[in-house]
């Protein structure tokens, strides 16, 4: 019997306060979330794989200037972009990842190409760029990823560092990710990020690390995380959520909310969020920050997008 399908994404818990952007800019960011969902949903409703769906969803987010991934990625302390991405197939536990890439237009495509090649799971830096080029993926100059907003965020982060003041989540970081359940009952997850603003060159966060920022396992869940990666790394977040479900019988909601609100939120006082889906099509998108770019299409086909507390219904999509 065919499974229900479901899809969710996040565009990072580093959402700016409402008054930082114009109404038109917020509307455009929500439209881009809906566009990304549509790309993945169209694949799922035609019987395509969860793996194809999460890749297509993340590509749209990487191409948007509103998110910290691909075009619009954060600048590091050397005023360069170092991009991380991963993708995982819950059916086979196959995975691919790149870290510290500087020239791959869509890092999630390089992660998928590595998964398909089937030997190394992760490549880093110039080697990741070279692999992507040899795989026929689009290679760009590092400046392609720069936007005026990211230049401003780097200026602010340096000002905070000089004055000893605290930065907002929106100034610091952001990530994009997607999770999906397909008609065959398989799960998949993908994540992509530029890391946090003003990060040390060479720093790698949780996003490209399998079992931490990105994880999918049939029979449990698919998860993509967002927030200060070092804290997700200490708690092996993605695998921990799946293990709580598999071994302790916890629900998707119990396991994900414990990670976001208790393990990371209360224990460390750190902003965190994620998107997750289980094998029955249940979706969770918890966050403990002022907002999180997010969107999902439920197993009933209802589409919702949001940036802060409120969710905007985009109607019921054909299945």
Specify whether 175 is catalytic. Answer: yes
| Short-list 242, 251, 288, CA closest to 267 | 288
Catalytic residue among 57, 146, 175, 298: 175
Give CA separation, 310 vs 277, 290, 292, 305, in Å. 20, 11, 10, 9
Cα 236 from Cα 90, distance rounded (Å): 17
Cα 7 from Cα 318, distance rounded (Å): 13
Cα 4 → chain centroid? 23
Q: Which residues contact 158 (CB under 8 A, 6 or more apart)?
A: 198
Cα 135 from Cα 101, distance rounded (Å): 15
Which residues have a catalytic role annotated? 175
């Amino acid at each position: 019997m065919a499974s229900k399908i479901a899809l969710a994404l996040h565009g990072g818990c580093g959402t700016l306060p409402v008054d930082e952007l114009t109404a038109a800019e917020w509307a455009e960011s929500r439209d881009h979330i809906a566009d990304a969902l549509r790309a993945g949903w169209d694949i799922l409703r035609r019987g395509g794989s969860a793996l194809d769906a999460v890749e297509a969803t993340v590509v749209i987010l990487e191409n948007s200037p509103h998110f910290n991934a691909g075009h619009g990625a954060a600048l590091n302390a050397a005023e360069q972009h170092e991009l991380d991405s991963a993708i995982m197939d819950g059916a086979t536990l196959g995975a691919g990842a790149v870290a510290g890439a500087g020239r791959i237009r869509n890092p999630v495509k390089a992660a998928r190409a590595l998964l398909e090649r089937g030997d190394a799971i992760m490549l880093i830096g110039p080697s990741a760029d070279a692999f992507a080029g040899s795989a026929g993926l689009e290679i760009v100059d590092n400046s392609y990823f720069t936007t005026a907003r990211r230049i401003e965020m780097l200026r602010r982060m340096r000002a905070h560092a000089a004055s000893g003041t605290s930065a907002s989540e929106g100034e610091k970081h952001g990530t994009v990710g997607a999770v999906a359940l397909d008609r065959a009952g398989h799960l998949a997850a993908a994540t992509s990020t530029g890391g946090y603003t003003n990060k040390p060159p060479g720093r790698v966060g949780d996003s490209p690390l399998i079992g931490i920022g990105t994880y999918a396992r049939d029979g449990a869940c698919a998860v993509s995380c967002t927030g200060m990666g070092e804290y997700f790394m200490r708690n092996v977040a993605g695998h921990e959520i799946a293990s709580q479900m598999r071994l302790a019988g916890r629900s998707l909601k119990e396991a994900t909310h414990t990670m976001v609100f208790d393990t990371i939120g209360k224990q460390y006082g750190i902003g965190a969020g994620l998107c997750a889906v289980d094998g029955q099509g249940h979706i969770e998108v918890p966050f403990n920050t002022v907002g999180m770019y997010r969107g999902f299409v439920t197993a009933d086909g209802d589409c919702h997008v949001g940036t802060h507390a409120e969710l905007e219904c985009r109607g019921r999509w054909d299945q």
